[in-house]
Chains A and B, each alone.
Chain A
C-alpha cells in the first residue's frame, strides 16, 4: 500500500538553529514528490517538486533533497516567519494521477 510518513510531528527551533524535516514514502514507483507550506487557516502553498533520486532544489533558506525512500527539507538559519506546517505529498507512478499526503510537520521558530 502506498504510504507517506513525515517526522517529526512537531519541531521547535530557535531562530538561526538549522534542522531537517523528513518525509519517508513507500510507493510502487514515484512520479513526483512535492513539498508544500501551510499557514494556519490557509491553503497549502507550493514549495518544491522532486522527480528523481539525487535531485535537489533550493529556495531561500529551504533545500529539498530526494532519495529512493525519503526526502528531506533542510531549513538553514530559520526565522520566525518560517513557522508553518510543512506537508509532503507523493504521486505514485501507477496509471492514475492520485496524490498521497503525509500528516505534516508543525514547525515553530522562536525569536
Chain B
C-alpha cells in the first residue's frame, strides 16, 4: 500500500530536549515536505526537499532542521524545542514538486 508514515504519532517533551520526528514514503517520490498546522493559521510549510541532499526553507523554518540522505526518508529535527513549537505536524511526499501530495497521519507534539 502506497503511504507516508510518520513516527511518533503523539509526543510530549520538555523544553530543550532534542527530538526527531521520522517520515518515510514507499512511493519513490522525489519531493518531500514538512508542515505544521495550528488553529487559525492553517498549514504552513517548514522545509521541503526536491531530491536526495537537496533541501530548502519553507515559510516557517526557524527552530527546525531536516536532512534527506535517502530518497524515502525525510526526518524533522528539533534541536532545542520550545513551547511555541507545540503543534500538529504533517509530512507529505509527491512524485514531483508540482503534483498531488500524499500526507502522513500527523504527529501531535506538545512541548512543556
Contacts and interface: CB of A to CB of B under 8 A. Distances in A.
Contact of B50 (A43, A44, A97): A97
Contacts, number: 60
A42 B98 contact: no
A97 B99 contact: no
Nearest to A31: B98
Nearest to A49: B100
Given A34-B100, A43-B90, A103 B41 contact: yes
A101 B44 contact: yes
Interface of B, secondary structure class, is: strand
A32 B50 CA distance: 17
A30 B37 CA distance: 23
A44 B48 contact: no
A98 B40 contact: no
Interface stretch (B62-70, B73-81, B103-111): B103-111
A44 B43 contact: yes
Given A103-B40, A103-B41, A46 B56 contact: no
A49 B58 CA distance: 20
8 contacts: A32-B98, A42-B105, A43-B104, A97-B98, A98-B48, A100-B59, A101-B35, A104-B42
Interface of B: 4, 31, 33, 35, 40-45, 48, 50, 56, 58-59, 90, 92, 97-106
Interface of A: 31-32, 34, 36, 41-46, 49, 87, 89, 91, 96-104
